Amino acid sequence: MGHHRTGWGSGLLGVLIFSGSLPATRVAVQDFTPLFLTSARAVIAALIGLLVLRTLKQNRPARRDLGPLLVVALGVVIGFPLLTALALRHVTAAHSVVFIGLLPLATAGFGVLRGGERPKPAFWFFSILGAVSVAGFALLQGAGGSIEGDLAMLAAIIVCGLGYAEGAVLSRRLGGWQVICWALALSLPVMCGLAIMAWPGTLRGVSPSGWMGLGYVAVFSMLLGFVFWYRGLALGGIAGVGQLQLLQPFFGLGIAAVLLGEPIAWPMIACTLVVVLCVAGAKRFAA
């Protein structure tokens, strides 16, 4: 029971860290292109991860772990950031939240397939209700969809859900921070190439807030957040803890309201309360 509670606490901390990604990205893309921001943050996080692995003298992963680590790298380090960046060229940020609301369901589904979990039927009711609530809230905020953008977002959700579940299973053997560090290390050659291709003509005009945004998504969103997230999924259960992602859009909007002065309307508060109840219900029936 103690491990279960620790897992949910660790997962919530991971979600809180991830929730700052959207406001930080909004600030950073004013100075960097989406492709450069996506690749640069992975390169920075990978270099830090390699330094930590070397300093703490971690053994290299076993051969059987390389495949799952590659899945994690393709899913959460390369696939999700790139696909969402491509999608946001065709859809609005509000519309993308419709698909983010499906991520807990995708994570739970892959938790069943890859982690061998078997949530109770009531869990799926609360999970689907939470996803519908988030999607409905996003649709009320505005449409702004397109076929290209929707397909890219759907692909992003699938690869991210798989990367979350695969990383959680692997964390039970390697540890949460080791998994993300090794996954970042595997992706480093690809992300270095993309960063060079997307390198800006000059960096002189980059504002301090732009550097801070890049620093946050690199150190916190791409590295530290996953340390707590994978530990939470491994200890608390992939399907159950994964439902905490339903809160991420609302945490992000709250942070944006405080830091960027964006307004908070009553539909957001009402939908947040519904989502909190859904997460509590999913937690109750996840085992």
- Going from N- to C-terminal start, the domains of the chain cover 2-285
Distance CA 262, CA 114 (A): 39
51-110 pLDDT per residue, tens: 999 999 898 898 999 999 999 999 999 888 888 877 777 766 656 666 777 788 888 888
- Between 35 and 70, residue with greater pLDDT: 70
In this prediction, residues 261-283 reach a mean pLDDT of 72
Q: Hey, how many other C-beta atoms are within 10 angstroms of the C-beta on 8?
A: 20
Distance CA 138, CA 97 (A): 6
165-196 pLDDT per residue, tens: 999 889 888 888 899 999 999 999 999 999 99
Closest alpha carbon to 135 in 227, 215, 246: 246
Burial class for 265, CB neighbours closer than 10 Å (0-12, 13-18, 19+): exposed
pLDDT at 2: 64
| Contact criterion met (CB below 8 Å) for 167 and 183 | yes
- Contacts of residues 153-158 at CB distance under 8 Å and 24 or more positions apart, as own/partner, are 153/83, 153/84, 153/87, 153/91, 153/96, 153/98, 153/99, 154/99, 155/79, 155/83, 156/79, 156/80, 156/83, 156/84, 156/87, 156/99, 157/99, 157/100, 157/102, 157/103, 157/106, 158/106
Report the percentage of the chain scoring pLDDT > 90: 33
Q: Cα separations (Å) of 97 from 158, 198, 233?
A: 15, 26, 22
Query: Which two tokens mark 259?
Result: 């830091």
- Between 203 and 131, residue with greater pLDDT: 203
pLDDT at 65: 92
